[in-house]
Structure 1
Amino acid sequence: MTEQTPPTPPFRDQRLPFAKRIDDLLSRLTLDEKIGFLHQFTPAVERLGVDAFRTGQEALHGVAWMGPATVFPQAVGLGATWNTDLVRRVGEAVSKETRAMRARDDRVGLNVWSPTVNLLRHPLWGRNEEGYSEDPKLTSAIATAYTRGLRGDHPTYWRTAPVLKHWLAHNNETGRDVTSSSVRPRVLHEYDLRAFRETVEAGATAGVMPAYNLVNGRPNHVSPYLREHLRTWTDDDLLVCSDAGAPSNLVDSEHYFDTHEEATAAALLAGVDSFTDHGTDSSKITARVRGALDKGLLSESDIDTAVRRQLSVRFRLGEFDPEYDPHAPTRDFDTPAHRALAQEAAEQAVVLLKNSAGLLPLAPDTRIAVVGLLADECKLDWYSGSLIHRSTPLEGLYERFGAERVEFAEGVDRVLLRTGTGAFLYVPEADAADEVRGAEGALDPALLAGRTDLPPLTTDATGTEFALVDWGAGVLTLRAPDGRYLSVAEDGRVRASADQPGGWIVQETFHLEPHENGHLLRHIGTGRHVSVAADDVRVAEENPEIFEIVLVERGEDAVARVAAQADVVLVVAGNDPHINGRETEDRTTLALPAHQERLLRAASAANPHTVLALISAYPYAVDHASLPAMLWTSHGGQSAGTALARVLAGDVSPAGRLPQTWYADDADLPDLLDYDVIGSRQTYLYFEGTPLFPFGHGLSYASFSYAGLKTRTAEGALHVSFTVTNTGDMAADEVAQLYARAVDPAVPRPRRELLAHRRVRLAPGERAELSFEVPLSAFGFWDVARSGWRREPGPYELLAGASSQDVRLRTTVLLDGEGSAPRPVLQRGLSAPDFDEQSGIAIVDRTRTSGDAVTPAQGRSGELVYRDCDLGAGVTRVTATVSGDGAVEVSLDGGPPLAVLTAEAPDGDPYDYSTRSAGIIAEGVRDVHLRLRGPLRLAHVGFSG
Structure 2
Amino acid sequence: MTAHPPHTPPFRDAHLPFAKRIDDLLTRLTLDEKIGFLHQFAPAVERLGIPAFRTGQEALHGVAWMGPATVFPQAVGLGATWNTDLVRRIGEAVSQEVRAMRARDDRVGLNIWAPTVNLLRHPLWGRNEEGYSEDPKLTSAIATAYTRGLRGDHPTYWRTAPVLKHWLAHNNETDRAISSSSVRPRVLHEYDLRAFREAVEAGAVAGVMPAYNLVNGRPNHVSPYLREHLRTWTDEELLVCSDAGAPSNLVDHEHYFDTHEEATAASLRAGVDSFTDHGTDSSQMIARIQGALDQGLLTEAEIDTAVRRQLSVRFRLGEFDPRHDPHAGVTDFDTPAHRALAQEAAEQAIVLLRNDGVLPLAADTRLAVVGLLADECKLDWYSGTLLHRSTPLEGLYERFGAERVEFAEGVDRVRLKTSAGTFLHVLASESGEDEVRGAEGALDPALLAGRTDLPPLTTDATGTEFALIDWDEGVLTLRAPDGRYLSVAEDGYLRASADQPGGWVVQETFRLEPHGSGHLLRHIGTGRHVCVAADGVKVADENPEAGAKPETFELIIAERGEDAVTRITSEADVVLVVAGNDPHLNGRETEDRASLRLPAHQERLLRAARAANPRTVLALVSAYPYAVDTSGLAAALWTAHGGQAAGTALARVLAGDVSPAGRLPQTWYESDADLPGLLDYDVIGSRQTYLYFEGTPLFPFGHGLSYTSFSYGDLTTRVTEEALHVSFTITNTGDVTSDEVAQLYTRAIDPALPRPRRELVAHRRVTLAPGAQEELSFEVPLRAFEFWDVTQGRWRLEPGPYELLAGASSEDIRLRTTVPLDGEPGAPRPVCQRGLEGADFDEQSGVEIVDRTRVAGDAVTATEGRAGELLYRDCDFGDGVTEATVTVSGEGSVELSLDGGAVLATWQVAESGSGPYDYTTLGTGVGAEGVHDVHLRLRGPLRLAHVGFSG
TM-score (norm 2): 0.98
Name the amino acid aligned to 2:73: P
Corresponding residue number in structure 1 for 2:330: 330
Name the amino acid aligned to 1:460: D
Structure 2 residue corresponding to 1:914, chosen from 920, 938, 947: 920
Once the two structures are TM-superposed, the CA of residue 431 in structure 1 deviates from its matched residue by 2.2
Once the two structures are TM-superposed, the CA of residue 534 in structure 1 deviates from its matched residue by 2.2
**Does the 8 Å contact 1:697/1:802 carry over to 2?**
yes
- What is the CA–CA distance in structure 2 between the aligned matches of 1:755 and 1:622, rounded to whole Å? 30
Name the amino acid aligned to 1:360: L
**Does the 8 Å contact 2:445/2:500 carry over to 1?**
no
Once the two structures are TM-superposed, the CA of residue 451 in structure 1 deviates from its matched residue by 1.0
Corresponding residue number in structure 2 for 1:299: 299
Counterparts of 1:537-936 in structure 2, within 5 Å, are 537-541=537-541, 542=544, 543-905=549-911, 907-936=913-942
Once the two structures are TM-superposed, the CA of residue 610 in structure 1 deviates from its matched residue by 0.3
Corresponding residue number in structure 2 for 1:29: 29
Are 1:458 and 2:464 matched, yes or no? no
- What is the CA–CA distance in structure 2 between the aligned matches of 1:449 and 1:275, rounded to whole Å? 30
- What is the CA–CA distance in structure 2 between the aligned matches of 1:96 and 1:592, rounded to whole Å? 38
Secondary structure at the aligned position of 1:547 is classed as: strand
- What is the CA–CA distance in structure 1 between the aligned matches of 2:445 and 2:628, rounded to whole Å? 34
**Does the 8 Å contact 2:742/2:806 carry over to 1?**
yes
478-487 or 542-551: bigger deviation: 542-551
Counterparts of 1:74-89 in structure 2, within 5 Å, are 74-89=74-89
- What is the CA–CA distance in structure 2 between the aligned matches of 1:6 and 1:426, rounded to whole Å? 75
Secondary structure at the aligned position of 1:942 is classed as: strand
Once the two structures are TM-superposed, the CA of residue 462 in structure 1 deviates from its matched residue by 1.3
Once the two structures are TM-superposed, the CA of residue 454 in structure 1 deviates from its matched residue by 1.1
Corresponding residue number in structure 1 for 2:405: 406
**Does the 8 Å contact 2:806/2:816 carry over to 1?**
yes
Secondary structure at the aligned position of 1:397 is classed as: helix
Once the two structures are TM-superposed, the CA of residue 331 in structure 1 deviates from its matched residue by 2.1
Once the two structures are TM-superposed, the CA of residue 834 in structure 1 deviates from its matched residue by 0.5
- What is the CA–CA distance in structure 2 between the aligned matches of 1:508 and 1:796, rounded to whole Å? 54
- What is the CA–CA distance in structure 1 between the aligned matches of 2:439 and 2:358, rounded to whole Å? 42
Q: Which runs of 4+ in 1 moved over 4 A?
A: none
**Does the 8 Å contact 2:373/2:621 carry over to 1?**
yes
Once the two structures are TM-superposed, the CA of residue 497 in structure 1 deviates from its matched residue by 0.5
Secondary structure at the aligned position of 1:221 is classed as: helix
Corresponding residue number in structure 2 for 1:519: 519
Corresponding residue number in structure 2 for 1:310: 310
Name the amino acid aligned to 1:97: E
In structure 1, the gaps of 5 or more residues are: none
- What is the CA–CA distance in structure 2 between the aligned matches of 1:706 and 1:205, rounded to whole Å? 36
**Does the 8 Å contact 1:370/1:406 carry over to 2?**
yes
- What is the CA–CA distance in structure 1 between the aligned matches of 2:908 and 2:695, rounded to whole Å? 41
Secondary structure at the aligned position of 1:55 is classed as: strand
Counterparts of 1:76-475 in structure 2, within 5 Å, are 76-355=76-355, 357-433=356-432, 435-475=435-475
**Does the 8 Å contact 2:509/2:525 carry over to 1?**
yes
Secondary structure at the aligned position of 2:114 is classed as: strand
**Does the 8 Å contact 1:884/1:909 carry over to 2?**
yes
Deviations 1:194-222 (A, max 9, x none): 00000000000000000000000000000
Secondary structure at the aligned position of 1:146 is classed as: helix
- What is the CA–CA distance in structure 2 between the aligned matches of 1:470 and 1:860, rounded to whole Å? 40
Once the two structures are TM-superposed, the CA of residue 495 in structure 1 deviates from its matched residue by 0.4
- What is the CA–CA distance in structure 2 between the aligned matches of 1:407 and 1:345, rounded to whole Å? 28
Once the two structures are TM-superposed, the CA of residue 329 in structure 1 deviates from its matched residue by 3.1
**Does the 8 Å contact 1:80/1:349 carry over to 2?**
yes
**Does the 8 Å contact 1:892/1:926 carry over to 2?**
yes
- What is the CA–CA distance in structure 1 between the aligned matches of 2:481 and 2:447, rounded to whole Å? 18
Secondary structure at the aligned position of 1:346 is classed as: helix
- What is the CA–CA distance in structure 1 between the aligned matches of 2:738 and 2:446, rounded to whole Å? 42
Once the two structures are TM-superposed, the CA of residue 903 in structure 1 deviates from its matched residue by 1.2
**Does the 8 Å contact 1:349/1:656 carry over to 2?**
yes
- What is the CA–CA distance in structure 2 between the aligned matches of 1:906 and 1:618, rounded to whole Å? 48
- What is the CA–CA distance in structure 2 between the aligned matches of 1:432 and 1:930, rounded to whole Å? 72
**Does the 8 Å contact 1:870/1:925 carry over to 2?**
yes
Deviations 1:815-855 (A, max 9, x none): 00000101111111111101111111100000000000000
Question: What is the RMSD of the two structures over their aligned residues, measured on CA atoms?
Answer: 0.9
Once the two structures are TM-superposed, the CA of residue 906 in structure 1 deviates from its matched residue by 5.8
- What is the CA–CA distance in structure 1 between the aligned matches of 2:135 and 2:309, rounded to whole Å? 31
- What is the CA–CA distance in structure 2 between the aligned matches of 1:137 and 1:432, rounded to whole Å? 53
- What is the CA–CA distance in structure 1 between the aligned matches of 2:282 and 2:449, rounded to whole Å? 26
Deviations 1:406-460 (A, max 9, x none): 0000000000111111111111111244631111111224225411111111111
In structure 2, the gaps of 5 or more residues are: none
Name the amino acid aligned to 1:204: A
- What is the CA–CA distance in structure 1 between the aligned matches of 2:914 and 2:124, rounded to whole Å? 38
Secondary structure at the aligned position of 2:99 is classed as: helix
Name the amino acid aligned to 1:439: A
**Does the 8 Å contact 1:878/1:942 carry over to 2?**
yes
Secondary structure at the aligned position of 2:436 is classed as: coil
Name the amino acid aligned to 2:364: D
- What is the CA–CA distance in structure 1 between the aligned matches of 2:702 and 2:451, rounded to whole Å? 44
Deviations 1:23-72 (A, max 9, x none): 11111000000000000000000000000000000000000000000000
**Does the 8 Å contact 2:70/2:387 carry over to 1?**
yes
**Does the 8 Å contact 2:431/2:454 carry over to 1?**
no
Assess, with a 3 A threshold, how the Cα gap between structure 1 residues 195 and 865 changes in structure 2: closer, same or farther: same
- What is the CA–CA distance in structure 2 between the aligned matches of 1:445 and 1:481, rounded to whole Å? 17
Secondary structure at the aligned position of 1:577 is classed as: coil
TM-score (norm 1): 0.99
**Does the 8 Å contact 1:447/1:497 carry over to 2?**
no
Secondary structure at the aligned position of 1:582 is classed as: coil
Deviations 1:201-259 (A, max 9, x none): 00000000000000000000000000000000000000000000000000000000000
540-549 or 97-106: bigger deviation: 540-549
Name the amino acid aligned to 1:16: L
Name the amino acid aligned to 1:23: D
**Does the 8 Å contact 1:447/1:499 carry over to 2?**
no
- What is the CA–CA distance in structure 1 between the aligned matches of 2:275 and 2:867, rounded to whole Å? 39
- What is the CA–CA distance in structure 1 between the aligned matches of 2:383 and 2:329, rounded to whole Å? 23
- What is the CA–CA distance in structure 2 between the aligned matches of 1:67 and 1:387, rounded to whole Å? 8
Secondary structure at the aligned position of 1:562 is classed as: helix
**Does the 8 Å contact 1:59/1:112 carry over to 2?**
yes
Name the amino acid aligned to 1:763: A
Once the two structures are TM-superposed, the CA of residue 328 in structure 1 deviates from its matched residue by 1.2
Corresponding residue number in structure 1 for 2:51: 51
Once the two structures are TM-superposed, the CA of residue 860 in structure 1 deviates from its matched residue by 3.2
Name the amino acid aligned to 2:415: L
**Does the 8 Å contact 2:732/2:768 carry over to 1?**
yes
111-120 or 535-544: bigger deviation: 535-544
Name the amino acid aligned to 2:405: V
**Does the 8 Å contact 1:67/1:445 carry over to 2?**
no
Name the amino acid aligned to 1:40: Q
Secondary structure at the aligned position of 2:745 is classed as: strand
Secondary structure at the aligned position of 2:903 is classed as: coil
Deviations 1:630-680 (A, max 9, x none): 000000000000000000000000000000000000000000000000000
